[in-house]
Structure 1
Amino acid sequence: MRLFGALAGETLSLSFQPSREYNVWISERPGTGLPPAELDKLKQDCETVARACLAGQVPDYGLFAEDGVAWDRSVVTLITRIADDRPIAFNAMPQLDVIRGGARETVLHLGLVMVDPEERSSGLSWVLYGLTCFALFLRQGLRPLWVSSVTQVPAVVGMVAETFSEVFPAQDATPQSFYHRHLAHQIIHRHRQAFGVGADAGYDADRQVIMDAYTGGSDNLKKTFAVAAKHRRKEYNDFCEQELDYGRGDDVLQIGKIDLAAGQRFLARSVPRSALPQLAVQAAMVLAGAVLVPMIQWLDPTRPYNRLRPLK
């Protein structure tokens, strides 16, 4: 079991084994925290998964952009098969800088998810979409963490709506709040390159729908409604078919957050029971690093802590 860097203010890097078949590695901002050899290996593994998904091609945005800056601001989750150490899935979640309530913070963008076609029935979606968000939520001391998602896939639209809290847009009664609109505005005007949307794409702020979204490096990810994976609940499929023009290439920009209620839903609905014991250990370690360790250090009057001086 590998766990380090979980203290508040430091980057998160942990390894988790959800089953006997797979190993999960979460690395926050690997471009700034990993040694060159480990970073190169991680890049090669993600590229291997991308080629398996796109018939030998890789996108030219996000992690795969020529400038490589995404590695400095993303949280990368890599899943490998234990038997042969083969990479079979990854998720790259950019941390997008925004202003909320006059203060700087980040929105965690759910980012690019790719799963080897041979492994898509392995039940790993809870790892790729929820585990990283849950770990970062614990790391920041259970304070709500805003998340965003750009997709045209009904299964993903429904998953985001059911996993996170106060999600808009979604097929329910959640109205668009000021923060939904404000954060979406900043993301679409400052960070569209993070999810491969070209500068010429239109944007409907009332519906939070990006029009003609597949012109900024994500061209080979465009799908028809017939091909796009459907959600088990028909209302999410109907919502996407009605709101999005798949011929033009529209995406929905969803904004929500992970809070205590979303964390409880994730543990109750998504995590397999067999993975709960190890996840509990990892969660306790991350939460201790984020809350208990700084508190213990702060309460010791004989040692300096950041700007605080020892009591004389």
Structure 2
Amino acid sequence: MASLENGEQAPRAKKGFAKLGAAATRLRSQTGFWLGALLQPAIDLSLRTSPGLRTRIIEFPGLSLPRSELDVLVDQLRIVAAKTLPQESLTYGIFSGEPERLARAVVTLICEEETGRPIAFNALSVMDVTLDGRPVEVTHLGLVMVDPDVRGQGLSWVLYGLTALVLFARDGLRPKWISNVTQVPSVVGMVSDTFSDVYPSPLPGARQSFAHLQLARGILARHRAVFGVGEEAGFDEARSVITNAYTGGSDALKKTFEVAPKHRNAIYNEFCARELDYARGDDVLQLGRIDLAGARRYVMSEVPHGSLPALLAASAMLALQRLVLPLVYWLDDTRAYGSLRPRRNDAEGAR
């Protein structure tokens, strides 16, 4: 009986060791992934945002990606854009494939998990502007495009807020200025509902501060190319409306009011119809901030409950990155990081 029991126990023990080995392998894999994320200087994050769809966020791909990977990314963006834009429009800005055009961009790309087919993207841009005599960064919400075959599948929360939230978490939860140029009522409403201190907006209490005005002037003076607005376009400062906006590369994006997607809250549709001349081609230039209050509103009202765990885990890791990286740089005395210089070794000291 004893030998039989020992014979039965041996396979069980092997199975137990196999399970432990598999668990250890998974742990090593997860540990490696998160350590890589913590030590990554620029964001390159991939997460499952809904069943069957995977979203990748790449910060400054023109600098962080090798040329071969950058070409693949640009091809994926063109595939989505080709569904709605004429072929000749796929050569300006981010579609050009020039690294300098993507050096200050943050690209959010949604692909089908099974096939890898790109179906939507958002290309944010980081703009340097002066506020009260000091340089600040404004994150422009940028160009959003969705394959017409998949519209209405609840992708807006990813395309219009996820990347801003990720950048907010990575930068230590410090309030960040955002900008948005659009004539689409649904987008005007999304920005007004999601972010804080937004102007212009039809919501009660919305007002233009001197900070809004300074930033708007700086953006129009230096960064028109970011959103394809020509030099001949005018700017109504009091209303923060760009007049005749579709003359600098974004011509194919001009819409009529009837075609522009509407918001479920009629206040935004009425606001756009009242403030914008669609025949001329006007846009609002919205400015606001993402802060803790805005992040909470976004998470509670926009993010599907099934996507919350992955999003919160990624945000926590990015926030932790802000704390861990300076310590790693400080402890590594063999390489230079910014103003930190490597310690001279004995051989160098003897020279």
- The match for 1:259 is 291
**Deviates further, 69-78 or 253-262:** 69-78
Aligned AA (1:115): V
Of residues 223, 226, 233, the one that matches 1:194 is 226
Question: Aligned to 1:243, which of 275, 284, 287?
Answer: 275
Aligned match for 1:268, one of 297, 300, 316: 300
Among 300, 307, 311, the alignment partner of 2:340 is: 307
Deviations 1:225-257 (A, max 9, x none): 011000011111000000000000000000001
Native 8 Å contact 1:197 1:213 kept in 2: yes
Shift of the 68–217 alpha-carbon distance from structure 1 to 2, 3 Å rule, reads farther
**C-alpha deviation, 1:290, in angstroms:** 1.0
Which structure: larger Rg?
A: 2
Higher RCO (CA 8 Å, separation ≥ 6 residues)? 1
For the 8 Å contact 1:94–1:110, the answer to whether it is kept is yes
> Structure 1 residues 170 and 200 mapped into 2: Cα distance closer, same or farther (>3 Å)?
same
Task: Give 1:200 deviation, angstroms.
Answer: 0.5
Identify the residue that residue 206 of structure 1 maps to in structure 2.
238
Report the Cα offset of residue 283 of structure 1. 1.1
Query: Aligned runs of 1:1-312 on 2, under 5 Å?
Result: 4=36, 10-54=41-85, 56=87, 58-65=89-96, 69-172=100-203, 173-294=205-326, 307=340
Which whole-Å deviations, capped at 9, do the CAs of 1:25-67 have from their partners, x for residues lacking one? 1001101110111111000000000001225553454312475
Identity of aligned residues (%): 48
Tell me if structure 1 keeps the 8 A contact 2:178–2:289: yes
Say which SS state the counterpart of residue 17 (structure 1) adopts. Answer: strand
Q: Secondary structure of the residue that 2:248 maps to in structure 1?
A: coil
Q: Tell me if the contact between 2:125 and 2:142 (Cα under 8 Å) persists in the aligned partners.
A: yes
Mapped partners of 1:89, 1:165: distance in 2: 26
Q: How much does 1:170 deviate?
A: 0.3
Superposed CA deviations along residues 92-114 of structure 1, whole A, max 9, x for unmatched, are 00101111233222100000000
* RMSD value, Cα: 2.3
Give the drift of 1:184.
0.5
Aligned length: 308
C-alpha contact 2:111 2:120 (8 A) present in aligned 1: yes
State the distance in 1 between where 2:206 and 2:224 align: 25
1:274 aligned partner, one-letter code: G
| Residues 100-109 or 77-86, more deviating | 100-109
Query: If the length of structure 1 is used for normalisation, what is the TM-score?
Result: 0.92
User: In structure 2, what is the Cα distance between the partners aligned to 1:198 and 1:68?
Assistant: 22
Deviation per residue, 1:246-280 (Å, 9 max, x gap): 00000000000100101111110111100111112
Q: In the aligned structure 1, how far is the partner of 2:210 from the partner of 2:148? A: 39
Aligned residue identity for 2:122 = N
Asked whether the equivalents of residues 243 and 280 of structure 2 are also in contact (C-alpha less than 8 Å), the reply is yes
Q: Quote how far apart the aligned CAs of 1:6 are.
A: 5.0
Matched residue type, 1:196: G
- Deviation at 1:294? 3.1
SS across alignment from 1:25 = strand
Runs of 4+ more than 4 Å apart = 1-8, 65-68, 295-298, 300-306
Q: Tell me which amino acid in the other structure corresponds to 2:340.
A: R
- CA distance 1:302–1:62, shift in 2 (3 Å): closer
| 1:9-34 CA-partner distances (Å, limit 9, x unpaired) | x3211111112311111001101110
Runs of at least 5 residues in structure 1 that lack an aligned partner in the other structure: none
Distance 1:5 1:181 in 2: 37
Q: Name the structure where helix makes up a greater proportion of residues.
A: 2
Partner SS, residue 83 of structure 2: helix
CA distance in 1, matches of 2:149, 2:81: 13
- Normalising by structure 2, what TM-score? 0.82
In the alignment, is the contact (CA less than 8 A) between 1:59 and 1:220 conserved in 2? no
* C-alpha spacing 1:308/1:142, structure 2 compared with 1 (3 Å): farther
Q: Does structure 1 retain, via aligned residues, the 8 Å contact 2:82–2:90?
A: no
Query: 1:141-195 deviations in whole A, cap 9, x for unaligned?
Result: 0111100000000000000000100000000221100110000100011101110
d(CA) in 1 for partners of 2:112, 2:323: 33
Unmatched tracts of structure 2, length 5 or more: 1-29, 344-351
